[in-house]
Structure 1
Amino acid sequence: MSNRSSSGASPEGGERHLGWGLLLAYGALALPLAALNLPLYVFLPTFWASELGVGLTAVGLALLSARLLDVVTDPLIGEFSDRTRSPIGRRRPWILAGAPFLALGVWMLFRPYAGAGGLDLFLWAAVAYLGWTMVTLPYTAWGAELSPDYHERTRITTVREAFVILGVAVAASLPALLGGAVELGRILGWMAYAVLIILPLCLVVVMRFIPEPAAPSGGPPAFRREFRHLWANRPFRTLVLAFLLNSMANGLPATLFLLFATLKLEAGDATGWLLLVYFLAGVAAAPFWLQLSYRIGKHRAWIASILWACCVFATVPLLGPGDVAWFFVICALSGASLGADLALPAAMQADVVDVDRTLSGRQRTGFFFAVWSMATKLSMALAVGIAFPVLGAVGFDPAGPNEPGALWALTLLYAVVPIPIKLAAAWLVRGFALDAQEHAAVRARLVTQGTTP
C-alpha cells in the first residue's frame, strides 16, 4: 500500500493542487457508500413499514434507537482513529475492519429473513451503522488531511461529493431500470448484490493509491480536555448546529419521498426517474457552487443554496394527484442545491479543524469528523423517528389509500416543516467568520506554533 502520491502533490499539501488522478481515486469509495445511503434512508423505512408490515411507529423507533448508539461509538472511533499507529497508517485499518460489519448489516437489512420484526431491524441497523462509522469517519478525515489549503479542500470535497451524488443517482435509477412498479424488496436485493461487489473494488483503489500524511507526534490528552477544546471552538459550534438543522430538514423529505410521490402525487412508475433527475441536477450544479464559493466564500455560497432550496420547496404544497410533470421540475430545481449541501459544509469542517489545532496543539481530524458524523446521523434519525410516529398517530397508512387529512399531514412533514428549519440553519451560519482570509491567518498561527503537519 503506497504512502506516496502519484499526482505530484504531497499529502501534506506542499503543492496547492492535487492531481485529478489522486482526487478521482480518493472519491471512488464514496460511490458505493452513497449507493447504500439512498436505500438506507429512503427505501428501507418504507420497505420495513409497508412490505414487511412492521408499522410506521415501530420502524421509526427502531431506527432512531439504533442511531442513538452512534452517540457513543462515533466519538470513540474518531478518537481511536486519530490515535492509531500502524504500518499502514491511521485511517486504513479502521476502514478495512469496518467494511465486513457494513456488508453484513446491509445484507440482513436489505434481504431480511421471513418473520423479521422491529427487534431485527434495530439489531441489523446497529451493525450496519457501526460498520458505516468505522468506514466513513476515517475516510472523510483522511480527505480533510490531504491538503491544508482553503480552496483545495473545497475541491477535494466537491470531487468526493460528486461521486456521492453519482452513487445515489445510480441507486435511484435502479427502480426505473427494473421496470418501474417493482417491489421494494426486489430493488433492495439487487442493490445489496451490486454494492457488495463494487465496494471491495473501490476499497482496493483507495488503499493502494491514496497517500496518508504521517501521524503527528504527541501523546493523547484526556477525553474531558478533548471536549473542552471542542466547545471552545466557536466556528465549530456554529457550523455543527447549522449542519444538524439543515440535515434534519433534508432528512424529512428524503425519508418521506416514496410515500409522497406514490400516495399523494400518484406518480407510480415515475418515482425512480424523479429521484434520478434530482441527483443528476445535483451533479450538474456542483461546479457552479464550487466557483461561487471561490468568489463569495463557502458559507455565503451555502446560504445561497439553502435559500434557493427553500424557495423551490415552497411550491410543493400546491401540487396534487397527477402533477408529476411539475414535480419533475421541482426535483430538478431543488436538486441543484444538493451539491452545495454536500460539499461546502464538509470543506468548512476541514477548516474548523485547523482552528482546533491552534487551541489544542493536536491534529484531531477524526475526532471532529466523528462529532460531525454524529450530527448527521442524529438529524436523519430524528427525521424518521419523528415523521413516522406522527404519521402513524394521524392514521396514515403506508400501503394506502388515505383520507385527505392524513395526506395533508404527509405534505406538511414533507415540504412545509423543512423550510423554517433550513432558514434557521442559514441564519446561524450567516456570521461564520472563517473565510479564506481568516483561514490564512489561522494557518500562519499554526506555522508560528510549529504545529503544521
Structure 2
Amino acid sequence: MADPAQASSDRPGTTPAPARTPAWRYAVGMLGTSIPINMIKGSMILYYVDILGLDVRAYGVVMVVYAVIDAIDNPVLGHLSDRTRSRFGRRRPWLIVGAPMLAACMIAFFSAPASLDGLGLVLWFAVFAILCEAFDSMLNANYGALLPELYPRERDRAVANALRQGFQLVALVISLAVTPLLTTKVFGTEDSTQGFQITAIVYGAIAVVVIVFMALGARENPRYATRERPPLLRSVWSIVRTPLFWTVGLTGACYGIAMALVLTGLQLYVRYSLGLDVGNTFILQGVVILVAAAGLVAWTKVVARRGALWTWRLAFAVLAVSFAALFLANDLLTALAAGVLVGAGWSGMLATNDLIVARVLDADAARNREHREGLFLSAFGFFGRLNGVVTGLALTSLGVFFGYNSGADPGADPGFAFRVYLCVYPFVLVTIGAIAARLITVPHETPPEAADPVEDPR
C-alpha cells in the first residue's frame, strides 16, 4: 500500500508536508518572547514615574501616542510576514532578526542617563517604549502565526498552547516575580536604577538565545506560502468586515487590559496599598503564577470535556470575582489568598483565549482559502494596543482623582489610588468581558491542512 505522505508529495503542484515540530520546541519560544516585554511593562512605571520622576500626565500622553503608532505598524508587519517568501520560511527570518533588536531596545529603555529630566526624559521614554513595542509586536505576530500553521488539528494545538502558556508562566516568574529582587536587592537598591540596566542585559541575552533556538527548529509548511499575495488594504478591509474580529477582539481586550493594569501596577500596589517593600512582590506574584501553572492542567481537561468556548466563559467569571477579593486585601496574607483566585481565573484565560482566536483564524482560512495569520493576528493586536491607551489613562486618572502624580508627589492616599488601579478598574473590565463572552458564539471550522499527512520527525 502506498504511503499517504508519499502519495501526497507525488501529486503535481503539491509540496511534501513537513515533519512535525515537537510541541516543546515551539512552546519554549514563549519564554523568550515573554521575558523582555513583561519586564518592560511590569517595571516601567516604577522605573520612570516613581524613581526617575516622570509625570504621570506625560506618561499617559506617551502611551496614547505609542498606541496609535503601534496600531498602524502592526498590520503592516503582519502583512509583510504573510508575503515573505524565502528558503527559511515566512516567519523564521522575522523572529531571528527581531529578537536581538528587541533586546537592544529593552537595554536602552532601562539605561536612561541620570542627567535626563523634563522633556529629555519624556523623549527617551517615548522613543524606546515605542521601539520595544514595535519589535515585540514583530516577534509575537510571527510566533503566534506559527501555532495554527504548525498544529492545524485542534487536539495538537491545545497541547502546544498549554505547553507554551506554561513557559509563559515560567517567564513571568523570571520577569515579574524575580525582577524586583534583582533590581532592588542583587544588582541595585530600592531607589536606584543600576539594577534595572543589569537585569535588562541578562534578560535580553536569555531572550535572544531562546527565540533563535525555537525559530531554527520550527518546520514551517511550504503549502501555506504558495497562495496569491493579496494587497494590504484589500486584506485589511476583508478582516475588519468580519464580525467575529470585533466581537472576539473587544471581549478579549477586556481581559488583556485588566491584566495589563495588574502587570504595570502590582509593585506599587505592594508598596502603597499593602505598605510593604517592593521586594514582597516576588511572594505575591509567585503564588499567583504557581496557581496559574497548576491550573493549566485542570483547565485543559475542562476544555476537553466542555469545549473552549464554555470554559472561556467560566474563566472570565472566576477572574472577575478574584479582583473583588483583591480589593479587600489589607496585608500580605489576605493578598495571597486573593492571589489564589486571581491565578485560577488567569489560568483559565491562558488555557482558552488563544484557542478562541485560533478558531477565528481557521474560519478566515476556510472561507478565503488564504493563510494570512500574521496580518490577522496583527489586526487583533489593535485591541492589544488599547492596553497602552487604557493603562495610560488609568494612571493619569490617579492624578486627577487621588492626587498621585509621581513618586515625588504621591498625593494624600496613594494606597487607595493603586487599590482602584489594580482592583476596581480590572473588575469592571473583566465583568464586561464575562457578559460579552456569554453572548458570543465562535464556531469551530477545521482548516483544509488538518487533513494533510504529517511526517514524523526522525
Aligned residue runs from structure 1 range 153-192, under 5 A: 153-171=157-175, 172-176=177-181, 179=185, 182-183=190-191, 185-192=193-200
1:279 equivalent in alignment to 2:289: yes
Verify the 8 A CA contact 2:17 2:452 in the aligned structure 1. no
1-structure distance, mates of 2:300, 2:288? 19
- The percentage of counterpart residues that share the same residue type is 21
Verify the 8 A CA contact 1:357 1:363 in the aligned structure 2. yes
- Residue in 1 that maps onto 2:146: 142
Verify the 8 A CA contact 1:12 1:145 in the aligned structure 2. no
The secondary structure found in structure 2 opposite 1:173 is helix
- Aligned residue type for 1:77: L
Q: Which 10-residue stretch deviates more, 272-281 or 116-125?
A: 272-281
- Aligned residue type for 2:358: A
1:355 equivalent in alignment to 2:363: yes
Deviation for aligned residue 1:398: 4.1
Q: 1:151 aligns with which of 155, 159, 162?
A: 155
Verify the 8 A CA contact 1:257 1:414 in the aligned structure 2. yes
| RMSD of aligned residue pairs (Cα, Å) | 2.7
Deviation for aligned residue 1:344: 1.5
Q: 1:386 aligns with which of 390, 393, 399?
A: 393
Aligned residue runs from structure 1 range 18-417, under 5 A: 22-116=22-116, 117-171=121-175, 172-176=177-181, 179=185, 182-183=190-191, 185-214=193-222, 215-268=224-277, 269-320=279-330, 323-376=331-384, 378-393=385-400, 394-399=402-407, 406-417=414-425
**CA separation of 1:447/1:159 partners in 2, compared to 1, >3 Å: closer, same or farther?**
closer
Verify the 8 A CA contact 2:32 2:211 in the aligned structure 1. no
**CA separation of 1:343/1:81 partners in 2, compared to 1, >3 Å: closer, same or farther?**
farther
The answer for unaligned runs of 5 or more in structure 2 is 1-14
The TM-score, its normalising length taken from structure 2, stands at 0.86
The secondary structure found in structure 1 opposite 2:106 is helix
1:443 equivalent in alignment to 2:426: no
Q: Which 10-residue stretch deviates more, 129-138 or 400-409?
A: 400-409
Verify the 8 A CA contact 1:357 1:451 in the aligned structure 2. no
**CA separation of 1:76/1:397 partners in 2, compared to 1, >3 Å: closer, same or farther?**
closer
Verify the 8 A CA contact 1:109 1:125 in the aligned structure 2. yes
Verify the 8 A CA contact 1:263 1:401 in the aligned structure 2. no
Deviation for aligned residue 1:425: 1.2
Verify the 8 A CA contact 1:13 1:146 in the aligned structure 2. no
Deviation for aligned residue 1:232: 4.0
2-structure distance, mates of 1:103, 1:53? 25
Verify the 8 A CA contact 2:41 2:264 in the aligned structure 1. yes
Deviation for aligned residue 1:423: 1.7
The secondary structure found in structure 1 opposite 2:446 is helix
Deviation for aligned residue 1:291: 1.0
**CA separation of 1:367/1:237 partners in 2, compared to 1, >3 Å: closer, same or farther?**
same
Runs of 4+ in 1 over 6 A off after TM superposition: 11-15, 450-453
2-structure distance, mates of 1:451, 1:233? 27
Verify the 8 A CA contact 2:90 2:225 in the aligned structure 1. no
Verify the 8 A CA contact 1:49 1:398 in the aligned structure 2. yes
Verify the 8 A CA contact 2:55 2:405 in the aligned structure 1. no
**CA separation of 1:329/1:190 partners in 2, compared to 1, >3 Å: closer, same or farther?**
farther
Q: Which 10-residue stretch deviates more, 305-314 or 80-89?
A: 305-314
**Deviation string for 1:43-97 (max 9, x for gaps)?**
1122101211112121222233223211111000111101100010000111122
Verify the 8 A CA contact 1:248 1:379 in the aligned structure 2. yes
The secondary structure found in structure 2 opposite 1:211 is coil
2-structure distance, mates of 1:158, 1:57? 39
The secondary structure found in structure 2 opposite 1:46 is helix
**Deviation string for 1:355-383 (max 9, x for gaps)?**
1123322111111111122322x232023
Verify the 8 A CA contact 2:323 2:423 in the aligned structure 1. yes
Verify the 8 A CA contact 2:77 2:378 in the aligned structure 1. yes
2-structure distance, mates of 1:334, 1:187? 29
- Aligned residue type for 1:218: R
The secondary structure found in structure 1 opposite 2:228 is coil
- Aligned residue type for 2:286: L
2-structure distance, mates of 1:82, 1:118? 35
The answer for unaligned runs of 5 or more in structure 1 is 1-10
**CA separation of 1:411/1:12 partners in 2, compared to 1, >3 Å: closer, same or farther?**
farther
**CA separation of 1:241/1:400 partners in 2, compared to 1, >3 Å: closer, same or farther?**
same
2-structure distance, mates of 1:413, 1:207? 38
Verify the 8 A CA contact 2:53 2:406 in the aligned structure 1. no
- Aligned residue type for 1:243: G
- Aligned residue type for 2:321: C
1-structure distance, mates of 2:212, 2:236? 35
2-structure distance, mates of 1:274, 1:300? 29
**CA separation of 1:305/1:230 partners in 2, compared to 1, >3 Å: closer, same or farther?**
same
**CA separation of 1:233/1:70 partners in 2, compared to 1, >3 Å: closer, same or farther?**
same
- Aligned residue type for 2:88: I
1-structure distance, mates of 2:84, 2:225? 11
**CA separation of 1:13/1:78 partners in 2, compared to 1, >3 Å: closer, same or farther?**
same
The secondary structure found in structure 1 opposite 2:434 is helix
Verify the 8 A CA contact 1:261 1:271 in the aligned structure 2. yes
Pairs aligned (count): 429
Q: Which 10-residue stretch deviates more, 420-429 or 288-297?
A: 420-429
